[in-house]
Structure 1
């Protein structure tokens, strides 16, 4: 059985973190209570947290080590804030989009494609959920590592000299998990513990919310690919389905005839027996359904492209900068330190984050082109001339690849992924030269 809600995991996580994607008919008290909960959670742990990061960056401008470490998380959180803003602003459109995937021609149909369609959809749901769980694992490990690092670190001393220069004092500072501006002295209990807990909770909520946004958007690509796989199966089997529907067994003799004439070839179309009128009616009906399904899938790609292409541009530029900064941080930290391990996990998350967009975008491109081959590989020669002409138009349309882009500048492909990795390495070398 296929789940009734393809994005059940992501929608539940959104709800827990203050973003209600479902259209729920709550009473007035429940609606107001959730609105207050959402406002407080997003304001305190999302908006306020990124503001304190930005203030800290300004106050410590010039310290390359601190700046690069701060920017690793600030850029990530800024890109995440853009995703949150787009999803909240386009909530009704996105809701309509994912609900459309669970209805109409997009639903698995046993008559059209057999059990294969149910397997494809189940696989897409599993892949989408696994992407979410991998994100959550990365985020939990990174935040826990930052907390472990700060909690067990002995801190550091800064030497201060009196105004007349006669006395010097060393002041001890405790290490915080993240570099944020805090309007009180964190070296005194319980202020240190309060600030520590706030940073950990904020980073965890922020990270989980960004992971949900990313897996949600990537999940759309996964399900578009699933629809393309269903289409490929449908275009390859619509004549067979029509034969099964009408229970015409003698038409299968044509296939054995074709296998025996590979040496001599087919001299005329008269050598092939056409489908009987009853079967042809079902062929035309199934082909029409395939064409409508194909057109609606193209519209899905256009919707994802129009809603998220500029968001993908921000993601790509951010990933380029973040990979460069994380490489720099790895180069200046001791390989045995907890901070080094934390940055390794962070870099791994950035690579995975970029990979799921490029990989799934590339899969959409590849599978969209496969439809033309599937349509041509069907037993089209058994059909009448009108059906064959319709199939030619389908093949021509399918030869135009369905592509998702990052702001119309680059397509989401594995080639783009490799280009970003190469570019980040080049910028890292420039940053190393500046530091030297």
Structure 2
């Protein structure tokens, strides 16, 4: 466990004194690997940016749009078969919701950049004491660990699907969840298998990256609210110790400066809270709406599939991914709401 902790702290390091947020960098790196264009949010050399741009264009065209179109075409061809319709609707609805969230994030990339700038400024300016820095670093470790676990769960499901697909290619390819898609017949069958398996896995990683970016920003807000609370507690403690001093003493002036800093930090975090809500409120609503429908559909599939079949196992893993996603949203959304209620009222 100690080695895992050291690895998470060493890769994409965090330093509040420099405004360096390692978990955000890790999140954005994952988004770029998955083919989501977030170059504005990461500093890279011009050569790397050119490569990332070409890679992103290829992934966006072949996976994000073309493969989704193949799924929808299969849905249109088999609308009369309830079992096929249910299988296809589950994955198509997931990808359409993911596509909407990706487009929303890219459309509001400038707003996300402003939120990150405010968070970094808050860290550099108001994270002063050793206790505040440790609070932030502990939060960053938690953030990186959760992202790693979330990615591992989704990647395991995707890799298991690839294994099952290559194990039973004729039965699975284009015929069974989660690989119901009509790929043009002129594409060689081995290439169809590779295209289907990689598309589902890459799309899943794109959704993970965008979903966790929202959760990550919520957690960053929560950490800075904790830092704000520590600053206020310290001021209250010092005020109690020095309340017998005269109002014009140097200590009073120091307290006044601390109070002004707390108020400024409070106002900054209130802006960040409003910005995050304006950026992601629609996508979160869409996520919960589609998740309820997908849960109902996957539940139906689980009842019609044999318990020991490969299809049933993939369905259970898929439900686990959705459960993990909703748990993260609900858990940290509630934690931030509670912290906001305590700090920003």
Q: TM-score normalized by structure 2?
A: 0.85
Match of 2:230 in 1: 233
Q: TM-score normalized by structure 1?
A: 0.68
2:308 aligned counterpart, secondary structure: coil
CA distance in 2, matches of 1:176, 1:314: 22
Corresponding residue pairs, total: 323
Contact 1:52 1:182 in 2 (8 A): yes
- Following superposition of structure 1 onto structure 2, how do residues 5-154 of structure 1 map, counting pairs within 5 Å? 5-6=21-22, 7-18=24-35, 19=37, 20-22=39-41, 24=43, 26-27=45-46, 31-104=49-122, 109-110=127-128, 114-153=129-168
Instruction: Give how far 1:130 is off.
Output: 2.5
Give the number of the structure whose residues are more often helix, by fraction. 2
Instruction: Give how far 1:101 is off.
Output: 1.2
Contact 2:101 2:283 in 1 (8 A): yes
- Following superposition of structure 1 onto structure 2, how do residues 247-258 of structure 1 map, counting pairs within 5 Å? 252=241
CA distance in 1, matches of 2:190, 2:53: 29
Cα deviation code 1:109-147 (max 9, x no counterpart): 23xxx3221122112222322332223212222222222
Aligned-pair RMSD on alpha carbons? 2.5
Higher relative contact order (CA 8 A, sep 6+): 2
1:294 aligned counterpart, secondary structure: helix
CA distance in 2, matches of 1:80, 1:107: 36
Instruction: Give how far 1:334 is off.
Output: 1.5
- Following superposition of structure 1 onto structure 2, how do residues 411-430 of structure 1 map, counting pairs within 5 Å? none
Cα deviation code 1:35-90 (max 9, x no counterpart): 33221121012211111011001101121111111111111111111111112122
Match of 1:426 in 2: none
Return the match for 1:360 from 332, 336, 339.
Answer: 332
Instruction: Give how far 1:22 is off.
Output: 3.0
Contact 2:122 2:268 in 1 (8 A): no
Cα deviation code 1:339-370 (max 9, x no counterpart): 21211111111111112112111111111233
Match of 1:293 in 2: 265
Bigger Rg, structure 1 or 2 = 1
Instruction: Give how far 1:221 is off.
Output: 0.5
Change (3 A) 1:23 1:61: same
Instruction: Give how far 1:302 is off.
Output: 0.3
Instruction: Give how far 1:311 is off.
Output: 1.0
Moved more, 51-60 or 349-358: 349-358
CA distance in 2, matches of 1:348, 1:117: 35
CA distance in 1, matches of 2:26, 2:308: 37
CA distance in 1, matches of 2:51, 2:154: 29
Match of 2:244 in 1: 273
Contact 1:323 1:347 in 2 (8 A): yes
Change (3 A) 1:24 1:103: same
Determine whether 1:208 maps to 2:205: yes
Contact 2:87 2:178 in 1 (8 A): no
Structure 1: segments with no counterpart, 5+ residues: 157-172, 244-250, 255-271, 372-397, 400-436
Change (3 A) 1:223 1:24: closer
Contact 2:75 2:88 in 1 (8 A): yes
